[in-house]
């Protein structure tokens, strides 16, 4: 009796920006803190620790360029990222979190962040989303 060859388990394709519904992209980018985290992760392009990301987001929110962000603001951002934004980004496959807690940007995160270059001039990530939604 002949046996049929077993097909290896097919890996699901990596999600792309075009595979996301406009409402999903809007939901991802609708929160300013999450949009800042996406931008920072894309700019870094490599794994970061949550504490470092929280510090950078807090600095951007306070409009400060030096490391003199208040510990209270940094803690508030840290808790918000940890409890809300990081799980949402991981669920949507924009990031991967390894066993040591390092946050790794995925190609999808890079695509979402690159949406800010849709126009010839500099536009914000939210402006790029509006352009993308309008042209979809």
Percent over 70 (pLDDT), the chain: 66
Return the H-helix or E-strand segment holding 95.
strand 95-97
Average confidence score pLDDT of the chain: 78
One DSSP character per residue, 1-33 reads: ---PPPPPPPPPPPP-GGGS-HHHHHHHHSSHH
At residue 117, does pLDDT exceed 50? Answer: no
69 within domain boundaries: yes
pTM for this predicted structure: 0.72
CATH of the domain at 49: 1.10.10.10
Place of tokens 């490599």: 46
Three-state helix/strand/coil letters over 22-79: HHHHHHHHCCHHHHHHHHHHHHHCCCECHHHHHHHHHHHHHCCCCCCCCHHHHHHHHH
| Residue 119 binned pLDDT confidence (cut-offs 50, 70, 90) | very low
Structural domain of residue 128, as residue ranges? 20-135
2 within domain boundaries: no
| Residue 10 binned pLDDT confidence (cut-offs 50, 70, 90) | low
56 within domain boundaries: yes
14 within domain boundaries: no
15 within domain boundaries: no
**Count of domains for the chain:** 1
How far apart, in whole angstroms, are the C-alpha atoms of residue 66 and residue 55? 11
Pick the closest to residue 17 from 38, 32, 36 (CA basis): 38
Dig out the tokens for 92 from the structure. Answer: 């949507």
6 within domain boundaries: no
pLDDT value for 49? 96
At residue 78, does pLDDT exceed 70? Answer: yes
């Amino acid at each position: 009796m002949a046996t049929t060859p077993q097909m290896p388990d097919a890996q699901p394709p990596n999600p792309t920006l075009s595979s996301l519904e406009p409402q999903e992209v809007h939901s991802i980018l609708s929160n300013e803190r999450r949009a800042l985290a996406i931008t920072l992760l894309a700019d870094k392009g490599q794994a970061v620790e949550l504490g470092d990301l929280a510090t950078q987001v807090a600095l951007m929110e306070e409009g400060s360029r030096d490391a003199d962000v208040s510990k209270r603001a940094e803690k508030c951002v840290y808790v918000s990222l940890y409890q809300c934004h990081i799980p949402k980004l991981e669920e949507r496959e924009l990031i991967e979190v390894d066993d040591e807690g390092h946050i790794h940007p995925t190609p999808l995160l890079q695509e979402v962040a690159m949406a800010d270059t849709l126009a010839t001039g500099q536009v914000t990530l939210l402006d790029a989303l509006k352009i993308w939604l309008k042209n979809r």
